[in-house]
Structure 1
């Protein structure tokens, strides 16, 4: 634990979290593998789902884990360094923002689902045990990733609160859930029109 004013911790956590979250792992791993720019295929997204469209399951898994861990670990790190879990949550939320709006890519990033999941896994067991079964169950039934993600995001803040999560954490999770809906607004429109494709059928 390092002694600093709490306001300084929040500021540092926000800045560092954003820049860590801005690392575009999907773009980096596909380029390193010689597959070019992932933004030129499929949905144009830099996340694991679009990386999977290259046919490289190993790269998609690597992207999923890296995008998850960058939020989870920065949350854990700042919570430990500051001695304040809320500071860690701010760092994780900033990493989510960085992933969705990375400065390196003209603020055009991913949709944040894996990053959100990583934050939950490391910082809120209450949120994680709400999100994980909902996402997995719905995806197994519907094979529609966006529907699974949006449903889980909608229920996480309330479910976490009912399981005893703090007000601050639930407010932070609520904020991130709203952002998940924003980054999935095109998917939401297709869902409402009954046009959202199932996983593996076409670009989502």
Structure 2
């Protein structure tokens, strides 16, 4: 199979996999309210937690991480180069935030980005998750933890991998995460952003 065809298949497949909403599917299967109708109306693990169902939130989180991890991991296993691997990761990420199946209205991408981070460099991913956990414990605000931790991602990947393509790919993901959090940023500045666990 020509490499161009393989690349196309991986990128399109990654986007389609990323477009599956773990939050919406999990809540529907478990008989919960649609996460797009409550709280922040974001189909993500944090908003599912607002439904008061920790199990559903955990399943959503794992599902969103796997959407980023599996396509990238498979692209590495078949020997695609770093540039293509990064494009596969971006495709999965774009699928999550702009899903084909839900009128291109998706989540904010943090968990799926963590999946991409993990598949590309697990040490970098652990560093970013550690920053997230530290900020979440300190600030008690999920969006702040997400923004701070992903802000460090491009620098962490550059330090560990010295690969410009990967670094620019991570910068692109970070910028999109900030864009998807623009309402949260406004609420943070206004002091009205909700804390972790609040409904």
TM-score (norm 1): 0.91
Matches within 5 A, 1:22-101: 22-101=19-98
Change (3 A) 1:137 1:143: same
Q: Secondary structure at the match of 1:163?
A: helix
Instruction: Give structure 2 stretches of 5+ with no counterpart.
Output: none
Deviations 1:86-111 (A, max 9, x none): 32221121011000011111111100
Are positions 1:178 and 2:165 aligned together?
A: no
Per-residue deviation at 1:40? 1.3
Are positions 1:125 and 2:134 aligned together?
A: no
Deviations 1:72-93 (A, max 9, x none): 0110112222443432221121
Q: Match of 2:188?
A: 191
Per-residue deviation at 1:151? 0.7
Per-residue deviation at 1:61? 0.3
Deviations 1:119-176 (A, max 9, x none): 1112123531331121110110010111111111111101221223411111111110
65-74 or 119-128, larger mean C-alpha shift: 119-128
Are positions 1:160 and 2:157 aligned together?
A: yes
State the distance in 2 between where 1:169 and 1:42 align.
34
Deviations 1:22-57 (A, max 9, x none): 001110111111114221111111111111111111
Change (3 A) 1:14 1:184: same
Per-residue deviation at 1:183? 0.6
Are positions 1:105 and 2:102 aligned together?
A: yes
Instruction: Give structure 1 stretches of 5+ with no counterpart.
Output: none
Return structure 1 stretches of 4+ with deviation > 6 angstroms: none
Q: Match of 1:4?
A: 2
Over aligned residue pairs, what C-alpha RMSD do you find? Answer: 1.6
1:27/1:37 contact within 8 Å kept: yes
1:13/1:90 contact within 8 Å kept: no
